């Protein structure tokens, strides 16, 4: 993952721009950070393990007109000062986002030529190799072109050559990289948001591009030298602010009524849907995504098949990109991504695009690569999501799948007038229902009873199971409790042996057609000592002995029910993680945007 930034401009601004940019990029990784800046013809490097704030503490104000910076999500080599970027070799100092896949082979070749290595990283090998190319070419553009031919994998580089003190070079393949400019300044960054408070003039670098930034001028080389295309970034500056909440995650959970309202509004009319591309010509849909976004796909499959009668396959992007895929011109590939930069999802999108298959992106960041490369885009309006664990973007993605299912069901004449009215009414009341649920729900007591356990299970059938997959991920990623989601009927085929006296088992019971079956499965775990906690819709609530505790969720139309169902689990995960003293907004080992495969 990692985030990179670069700046050439005003001497008092360089270090603040780098630090501010790195803070905006911290969602891409927070294992360590570092900057290199130019002063009196010397390159100075400062690094710190952990958060950007640790780096900031080490920095004193300095005049410098040029610098590069990096925030790291460790891939090769543990988080340490030594492995932190910027890396130096000979005349080269660089920062890197990506993975150099053939670094072992390159390292071997370079070692035989007498080069020495001091870190465990793939990036140091890239630095040494670029220096090696430069020492023979004596020209940076030729050296970088030569390096491009040998480096395999993904990269966005910001590079300084000590012999060219006023220049930053950039080079990109597969990892995102943008340039920015004002009258007297030049920028590079992994994400335009890192520089958007300084400039809205942006140039998205194409695959294989090399850029030279100097003297208020950008020279761009693709096959040959080309004129950069500048576009104006159409986003508002959003200052990150917890707004009185203890954590961003909690703030984002409480923003959900508004997020859902903003997301669904542009697509609904008095009688149905609007602004959704014509999708009913497709005979099959493939949904491809990672993590929570993949989990929204599981829900999407269920509701599109149920309401629109179209077969849907859901695929994990890291698998999909390398497997034999069965699609044709009647297939629509839907990719789902909050960040719009997830490497595997992007690669899957490109695979379908290259094969001439129509693609649609459900995406939150509309400036992202996925948003730019998909044939159709359905943006969700979650706003900036800071907490690493997604909540509001997940919910917005669920609502987008409900709109797709609704639109397809309408187009395929599968809904009666009465059911259409019911659905439209449910959409109208949904934001208020979410608000009331958030206001009235209390998960503290249950959280206190379960937070010390090491294993927690989530059971559900059908669409409830799909929600359980997300509930389980949410819990484990922020509380570090091992948990598993199971299709309720499947547990007895092996996993039930893990149920012990008092093991917490959360069950989601909201599907009227099969709830009795789920209850039988809950009784099976209760008979083996489980502490059974039921999350149940109002309609299905009854006095019974199959649960020890329960949380009631209001009813809405089945198409929208999943949107309400996940909310108790978001809050439970949050409370449990808080009781365990975890770093809720930045869980260990994670990053918000996963730009390596």
- Tell the residue number behind the tokens 């007109």, with chain if given: 65
**Which of these is catalytic: 2, 290, 468, 582?**
2
CA distance 86 to 119: 12
Site string for ligand F6R, 311-350 (x = CB under 6 A): --------------------------xxx--x--x-----
Rule CB under 6 A: choose which of 15, 188, 285, 290 binds ligand F6R.
290
Number of residues that bind ligand F6R (CB under 6 A): 15
CA distance 275 to 296: 21
Residue nearest ligand F6R by beta-carbon distance? 291
Q: At what angle do helices 122-137 and 103-112 cross, to 10 degrees?
A: 50
CA distance 52 to 27: 11
String of b and e for 433-457 (b: at least 16 CB within 10 Å)?
bbbebbeeeebeebbeebbebeebb
Which residue, 473 or 491, is less far from ligand F6R as judged by CB? 473
Rounded to a whole number of angstroms, the minimum distance from the CB of residue 291 to ligand F6R is 2
E-strand spans in 115-185? 153-161, 168-173, 178-181
Rounded to a whole number of angstroms, the minimum distance from the CB of residue 327 to ligand F6R is 21
Binding part of the chain for ligand F6R, among 170-178, 285-293, 423-431, 449-457 by CB under 6 A, reads: 285-293
Binding part of the chain for ligand F6R, among 235-243, 273-281, 286-294, 505-513 by CB under 6 A, reads: 286-294
CA distance 597 to 582: 27
| Annotation marks residue 2 as catalytic | yes
**Which of these is catalytic: 181, 381, 578, 592?**
592
What distances in angstroms separate CA 477 from CA 40, 388, 463, 576, one per listed residue?
Answer: 46, 9, 22, 11
Rounded to 10 degrees, the C-alpha dihedral 144/21/343/389 comes to: 160
Which residue, 34 or 176, is less far from ligand F6R as judged by CB? 176
The phi, psi pair for 341, rounded to 5°, reads -125, 0
Binding part of the chain for ligand F6R, among 74-82, 222-230, 252-260, 287-295 by CB under 6 A, reads: 287-295
Sign of CA pseudo-dihedral 104, 5, 397, 408? negative
Rounded to a whole number of angstroms, the minimum distance from the CB of residue 374 to ligand F6R is 13
Contact assessment for residue 379 and residue 336, using Cβ atoms and an 8 Å cutoff: no
Rule CB under 6 A: choose which of 18, 125, 293, 485 binds ligand F6R.
293
CA distance 32 to 292: 25
Contact assessment for residue 481 and residue 455, using Cβ atoms and an 8 Å cutoff: yes
Which residue, 123 or 369, is less far from ligand F6R as judged by CB? 369
Question: Scanning residues 389 to 448, which ones bind ligand F6R (CB under 6 A)?
Answer: 389-390
Which residue, 390 or 447, is less far from ligand F6R as judged by CB? 390
CA distance 331 to 334: 10
Rounded to a whole number of angstroms, the minimum distance from the CB of residue 28 to ligand F6R is 11
Which residue, 342 or 399, is less far from ligand F6R as judged by CB? 342
Site string for ligand F6R, 473-492 (x = CB under 6 A): x---x---------------
Contact assessment for residue 149 and residue 172, using Cβ atoms and an 8 Å cutoff: no
Q: Does 565 bind ligand F6R (CB under 6 A)?
A: no
Rounded to a whole number of angstroms, the minimum distance from the CB of residue 387 to ligand F6R is 8
CA distance 26 to 52: 7
Rounded to a whole number of angstroms, the minimum distance from the CB of residue 393 to ligand F6R is 7
Which residue, 268 or 374, is less far from ligand F6R as judged by CB? 374
CA distance 384 to 357: 30
Rounded to a whole number of angstroms, the minimum distance from the CB of residue 292 to ligand F6R is 3
| Annotation marks residue 592 as catalytic | yes
Which residue, 43 or 293, is less far from ligand F6R as judged by CB? 293
CA distance 515 to 565: 15
Which residue, 532 or 573, is less far from ligand F6R as judged by CB? 573
How many angstroms separate the first and last alpha carbons of the chain? 9
**Tally of CB atoms within 10 A around 505:** 26
E-strand spans in 19-91? 32-39, 42-49, 66-72, 87-89
Rule CB under 6 A: choose which of 6, 176, 291, 297 binds ligand F6R.
291
Residue 477's nearest CA partner among 406, 555, 552, 394 is 394
CA distance 28 to 22: 9
Question: Scanning residues 343 to 382, which ones bind ligand F6R (CB under 6 A)?
Answer: 345
Rule CB under 6 A: choose which of 405, 471, 594, 596 binds ligand F6R.
594
Which residue, 117 or 245, is less far from ligand F6R as judged by CB? 245
Sign of CA pseudo-dihedral 219, 223, 226, 231? negative
Rounded to a whole number of angstroms, the minimum distance from the CB of residue 389 to ligand F6R is 4
Rounded to a whole number of angstroms, the minimum distance from the CB of residue 124 to ligand F6R is 27
Residues labelled catalytic: 2, 592
Residues of this chain that interact with ligand F6R (CB under 6 A) are 290-293, 337-339, 342, 345, 389-390, 473, 477, 593-594
């Amino acid at each position: 993952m990692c985030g990179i930034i670069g700046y050439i401009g005003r001497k008092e601004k360089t270090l603040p721009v780098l630090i501010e940019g790195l803070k905006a990029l911290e969602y891409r990784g927070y294992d360590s950070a570092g900057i290199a800046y130019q002063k009196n013809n010397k390159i100075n490097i400062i690094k710190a393990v952990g958060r950007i704030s640790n780096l900031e503490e080490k920095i004193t104000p300095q005049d410098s007109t040029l610098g590069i910076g990096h925030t790291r999500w460790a891939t090769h080599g543990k988080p340490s000062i030594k492995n932190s970027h910027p890396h130096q070799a000979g005349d080269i100092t660089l920062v890197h986002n990506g993975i150099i896949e053939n670094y072992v082979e390159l390292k071997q070749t370079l070692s035989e030529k007498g080069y020495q290595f001091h870190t465990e990283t793939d990036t140091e090998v890239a630095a040494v190799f670029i220096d090696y190319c430069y020492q023979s070419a004596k020209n940076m553009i030729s050296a970088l072109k030569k390096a491009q031919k040998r480096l395999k994998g993904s990269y966005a580089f910001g590079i300084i050559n000590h012999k060219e003190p006023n220049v930053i070079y950039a080079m990109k393949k597969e990892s995102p990289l943008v340039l920015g400019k004002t009258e007297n300044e030049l920028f590079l960054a992994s994400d335009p948001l890192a520089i958007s408070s300084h400039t809205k003039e942006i140039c998205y670098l194409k695959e294989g591009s090399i850029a030279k930034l100097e003297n208020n001028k950008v020279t761009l080389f693709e096959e040959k030298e080309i004129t950069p295309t500048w576009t104006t970034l159409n986003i508002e500056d959003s200052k990150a602010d917890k707004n009185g909440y203890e954590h961003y995650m909690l703030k984002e959970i409480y923003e959900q009524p508004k997020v859902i309202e903003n997301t669904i509004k542009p697509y609904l009319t008095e009688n149905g849907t609007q602004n959704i591309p014509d999708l009913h010509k497709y005979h099959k849909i493939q949904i491809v995504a990672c993590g929570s976004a993949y989990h929204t796909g599981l829900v999407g499959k269920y509701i599109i098949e149920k309401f629109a009668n179209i077969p849907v396959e859901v695929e994990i992007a890291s698998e999909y990109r390398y497997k034999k895929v069965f699609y044709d011109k009647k297939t629509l590939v839907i990719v789902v991504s909050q960040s719009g930069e997830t490497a595997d999802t992007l690669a899957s999108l490109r695979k379908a695009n290259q094969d001439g298959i129509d693609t649609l992106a459900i995406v939150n960041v509309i400036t992202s690569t996925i948003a730019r490369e998909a044939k159709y885009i359905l943006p969700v309006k979650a706003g900036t999501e800071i907490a690493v664990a997604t909540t509001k973007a997940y919910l917005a993605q669920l609502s987008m799948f409900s709109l797709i299912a609704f639109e397809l069901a309408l187009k395929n004449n599968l809904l009666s007038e009465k059911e259409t009215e019911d659905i439209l009414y449910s959409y109208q009341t949904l934001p208020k229902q979410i608000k009331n649920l958030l206001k009235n729900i209390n998960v503290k007591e249950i959280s206190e009873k379960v937070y010390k356990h090491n294993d927690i299970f989530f059971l559900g059938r059908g669409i409830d199971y799909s929600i359980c997959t997300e509930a389980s991920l949410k819990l484990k990623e922020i509380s570090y409790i091992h948990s598993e989601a199971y299709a309720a009927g499947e547990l007895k085929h092996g996993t039930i042996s893990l149920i012990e006296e008092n093991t917490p088992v959360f069950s989601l019971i909201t599907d009227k057609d099969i709830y009795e079956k789920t209850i039988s499965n809950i009784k099976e775990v209760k008979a083996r000592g489980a502490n059974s906690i039921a999350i149940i819709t109002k309609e299905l609530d009854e006095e019974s002995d199959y649960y020890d505790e329960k949380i009631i969720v209001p009813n809405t139309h089945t198409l929208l029910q999943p949107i309400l169902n996940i909310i108790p689990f978001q809050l439970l995960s949050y409370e449990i993680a808080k009781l365990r003293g975890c770093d809720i907004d930045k869980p260990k080992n994670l990053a918000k945007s996963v730009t390596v495969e």
